[in-house]
Amino acid sequence: MTEKAEQGDSDAQWRLGECYYWGKGVKKDWQTSVYWFKKSAEQGNPSGEYFLGAAYLDGHGVDKNIGLAARWLRKAADQGEKMAERMLERGDET
């Protein structure tokens, strides 16, 4: 997966970010997870956008930033990412 992520595969990037976020098969590292989420999100991947928004919302691996959280969650929701839609509906970004 790392090779695919490094080659620019946006799905592999967010999945690798998720591995680092939860410590699945690698040492838990929120900063590294955000690096991969951002790579994926910048390519318009809704899962990457969602996870990046959630990281900004919680302050995991980045400084907590409600504005950036809302921006990335909205991008993901606009593409039909259900978890982002639910977070926005509940007002989790505020």
For the chain, give every domain's residue range: 2-90
* Residue for token pair 């990412």: 81
Q: What is the pTM assigned to this prediction?
A: 0.90
| Residue 88 confidence (pLDDT) | 87
Q: Residue 93: is its pLDDT beyond 60?
A: no
How much helix, strand and coil, in percent to the nearest 5, is found in the chain?
70, 0, 30
Does 90 or 3 have the greater pLDDT score?
3
Mean pLDDT of 20-24: 96
- In 3D, which of 30, 40, 29, 31 has the Cα closest to residue 6? 40
Q: Residue 94: is its pLDDT beyond 60?
A: no
Q: What is the dotted CATH code of the domain comprising 2-90?
A: 1.25.40.10
| Residue 54 confidence (pLDDT) | 94
**Average pLDDT, rounded, for the chain:** 93
